[in-house]
Amino acid sequence: MGPELLARLTVVAAAIEAKKAFQITAFDVSGRTSIADVFLLCSVGSARQAQAVADEVERALREEGARPISVEGYNDGGWVLMDYGDFVLHVFQEERRAHYALERLWGDAPDIGSTLRPSG
């Protein structure tokens, strides 16, 4: 993972934390799929909070000159998927995250979440 991607992921992590999302994790899936290099996941308590997280991430990355390729699920807010090409952010309401269990699907991928936080 290059320094530019790491810098953008750090911006995303800060934006997610600013909107009080929780259970934040990130997986390096670069050797496992061509979809993206990194999957970020976080949980929220409501559709409104999911939308707030998505809005904050989009605002923060726009300041960095990045725009999403696509955003899915925003209106429903149960699972918002933001595709930025080299990474994909999944913002889940808790019950949807438990149901889809992406951690089980990608659990063998390196967890890089701690590298995205200032204390990590």
Domain ranges of the chain: 3-116
pLDDT of amino acid 120: 42
Instruction: Characterize 4-13 residue by residue with b for buried, 16 or more Cβ atoms within 10 angstroms of its Cβ, and e for exposed.
Output: ebeebbebbb
More confident residue, 27 or 106: 27
Q: What is the mean pLDDT of residues 49-56?
A: 98
Per-residue pLDDT band at 33 (split at 50, 70, 90): confident
pLDDT of amino acid 118: 57
Q: Would you mind telling me the total number of residues written for the chain in this entry? A: 120
Radius of gyration of the chain (CA): 13
Are 32 and 46 spatial neighbours (Cβ–Cβ below 8 Å)?
no
Architecture of domain 3-116: 2-Layer Sandwich (3.30)
Record the pTM. 0.92
